[in-house]
Amino acid sequence: MAAYDVNGSAVEHDEEGYITNLSEWSKDLADVIAAAEEVNMTDEHWAVVNFLRDYYEEYQIAPAVRVLIKAIKKSLGPDVGNNKYMYELFPYGPAKQACKIAGLPKPTGCV
Amino acid sequence: MATLHTVNKSPFQNPTLISCLGHAKAGDAVLMIEDGVYGAMNGTALSDAMATLGGDVSLYVLGDDLAARGIDAARLADGVTSVDYDGFVDLAANHDRTQNWL
Amino acid sequence: MSEQVKKFLYVNRKAPYGTIYAQESLEVVLIGAAFDQDVSMAFLDDGVFQLTKGQDTKGIGLKNFSATFRALGDYEVTKLYVEKESLDERGLTLDDLQNIEYEDEDDDYAEKPSIRLVSRAEMADVMAEQDVVLSF
């Protein structure tokens, strides 16, 4: 199985790049995944990733993209919490790609 | 606005049929299929309960499932109508919705 | 909206961890919620056990999906009908169930309870007013 290299230690991921053991996530790993996804992590990226991790911790699911955007709009305002900007942050889909960087499973309902 | 309910579990093993009859409204139809057909027999420990609970609904049983299990039509409780697959389709078509009790 | 909104009811009659039905139902509800329909859930018979509070699945190696019920409000699923007779038969009351709330956008985001306690007769009425009933 393929793996990310985080400071010399291997973290396994599936064929789409989602890590297989959610407890192996770290901020360093997030940077490694983001680099593999060609995403340059800014504070706004981190805000989304942190929100996803908190949501998963509380509800045991990754939120659907519209739920994510609605929540980000509430916490960070409409300039960040809108479809267009979120896709600029995560071109391959804010839920799908951000979940991967956040070390979560692919969101329910994402094909 | 009537509902067709289907039940496929034996009432002797599982309370689904009783629950279904407790929620079906007057004028609804209840079709017993697969192992559900055991609920359509007369002379069982549940026959009286079936007659009471099923009083204001139409009770049907899928004849092919009865035959498969060796239950003669003579063992059907009063008021239960045996239908074939075409009859099943007609029932589904003639009701506003189908609720499958799993 | 060109298409008419339909009323969908997901009927839950199974306890949570012995079979996969309960978790599958919840997943289908979350996926289906994307289609802007009028979605409700019904909990009766052993289905009421899905909502007990204090579930801890660490020892059985399964995901504790009871937490996910609290996310339903985000998906605009705000009607969880729970049958009183089913609770009574199992020696449960509403106090044994977890608190599930949603934010009412039309009422300044006030938090309101999603669980609605109904009698068996009222549950039958809820079922009879649906366009589509899906059982789990």
Residues of chain C neighbouring A55 (CB-CB closer than 8 A): 71
C11 to B22: CB separation less than 8 angstroms, yes or no? no
Task: Give pLDDT tens digits for C9-37.
Answer: 999 999 999 999 999 999 999 998 888 89
Query: Among A55, A60, A67, whose Cβ lies nearest the Cβ of C75?
Result: A67
Q: What is the pLDDT of residue A108?
A: 67
Dihedral, CA of residue B16, residue B21, residue B24 and residue B30, to nearest 10: 80
Instruction: Determine, yes or no, domain membership for C2.
Output: no
CB burial string B61-98: b at 16+ within 10 A, e below? bbbebbeeeebeeeebbeebebbeeeebeebeeebebb
What pLDDT, on a 0 to 100 scale, did the predictor assign at position A111? Answer: 44
Residue C11 lies in a domain: yes
Does residue C1 sit within a domain? no
Task: Provide the token pair at B46.
Answer: 């549940």
**pLDDT tens across C46-105, in order?**
999 999 999 999 999 899 999 999 999 999 999 999 999 999 999 999 999 999 999 998
Number of structural domains found in chain C: 1
Question: Residues of A with CB below 8 A from C114's CB?
Answer: none
Query: Is residue C28 situated within a structural domain?
Result: yes
| Chain C CB within 8 Å of residue B75 CB | no
- From chain A, the residues in CB contact with C64 under 8 A are 60
Q: In a mutagenesis test of the B interface, which of C28, C84, C130, C136 is the best target, namely the one with the most B β-carbons within 10 Å?
A: C130
Whether residues C124 and B23 touch (CB distance < 8 A) is answered with: yes
Q: CB contact, 8 Å: B14 with chain C?
A: no
Query: How would you write chain C as a 3-class SS string?
Result: CCCCCCEEEEEECCCCCCCCHHHHHHHHHHHHHHHCCEEEEEECHHHHHHHECCCCCHHHCCCCHHHHHHHHHHHCCCCEEEEHHHHHHCCCCHHHECCCEEEEHHHCCEEEECEEEECHHHHHHHHHCCCEEEEC
Domain count, chain B: 1
CATH of the domain at B36: 3.40.1260.10
Average pLDDT over chain A reads 91
> Which tens digit of pLDDT belongs to each residue from C113-135?
999 999 999 999 999 999 999 99
- Position C124 in a domain: yes
Residue C109 Cα, gap to closest chain A Cα (Å): 11
Kindly list the residues from chain C whose CB atom is less than 8 angstroms away from the CB atom of residue A67: 71, 74-75
Q: Which domain holds residue B89?
A: 3-101
CB contact under 8 A, C74 and A70: yes
CB atoms C31 and A67 under 8 Å: no
Say if C75 falls within a structural domain.
Answer: yes
Domain that holds residue C66: 7-135
Walk me through the domains of chain A, giving residue ranges and CATH numbers: 3-101 (1.10.10.370)
- What's the CATH number where C29 sits? 3.40.1260.10
Interchain CB distance below 8 Å, A67 and C74: yes
pLDDT digits (tens, 9 = 90+) for A59-100: 999 988 888 898 888 888 898 889 999 999 999 988 889 999
| All chains having 3 or more CB pairs closer than 8 angstroms to chain C | A, B
Write out residues in chain B with pLDDT < 70, as ranges. Answer: none
* B15, B22, B97 member nearest C132 (Cβ): B97
Assess C31–A contact: CB distance below 8 Å, yes or no: yes
Nearest CA in chain C to A68: C74
